[in-house]
Amino acid sequence: MKILLSPAKTLDYKSVFPTIKTSKPIFEKQANALNTVLQLKSPKQLTELMYVSDKLAELNWKRNQDWEKTKEVRPAVYAFQGAAYVGLDAYSIKEKDLDYLERTLRILSGQYGILRPFDLIKPYRLEMGSKLQVDNYKSLYEFWDAKVIDTINDELISDEVVVNLASNEYFKVIKPKLLKAKIITPIFKDYKSGQYKVISFYAKKARGKMTRFAVDNQIENVEKLKTFAVDGYGFDEKLSTNTEWVFTR
């Protein structure tokens, strides 16, 4: 089983992380090439590209300029700090479960394409949906799609399933027909105003919680994910299909 997660906009490069396990990003060369393009962007252009405040644009302009010389690197799973990573809480994963995490979790990234949990990454802000043109590629989706799909396909073993816990923005880089695996997409809904709805913050956190559930239980058979019962969520067979599994609370 492979689990796909999105990265997070919020980063943590200060906390002490609990393992010496590290690896080198598969597409480090391509990440550096993207930075070369980003270095040419002014703070104002970054504001327009990423729809961020002037303050965030300045921060990321400086990150881009310092890219080659920075010594700030950190394993990806400990660098991201958004809701999904709060749910995952990688810092408290037991050492005996780190190998499972390493072989199971893959993080889609606008800067790095695809990351393993312990790949060392530099601080960055580049969302997959950013309309960044690189060489003859009109978008990051075009730049990354074949690279990401080929990487996942090369890692898959016979009958392995891909569990899509990434956001729509990031999973869009995957062309399902080219992926040599069945894809299961868990969806988390909360009951509000008389109906079940996807509430973004809660759904993101639940994606991280499900990833942690898989890690803690060393799940290999994807069907066991249906037993996920955390924070009040439960599998709803009536709302689910063969490929979209709905969990409600």
135 CA to centre of own chain: 25
Q: Which pLDDT tens digit goes with each residue over 37-92? A: 999 999 999 999 999 999 999 999 999 999 999 999 999 999 999 999 999 999 99
**8 A C-beta contact, residue 163 and residue 3:** yes
Of 31, 28, 11, 42, nearest to 140 by C-alpha is 31
In the prediction, which pLDDT does 2 show?
98
Q: Which pLDDT tens digit goes with each residue over 97-126? A: 999 999 999 999 999 999 999 999 999 999
Q: How far apart are CA 28 and CA 20, in angstroms?
A: 20
Tell me how far apart the 2 most distant CA atoms of the chain are, in Å: 54
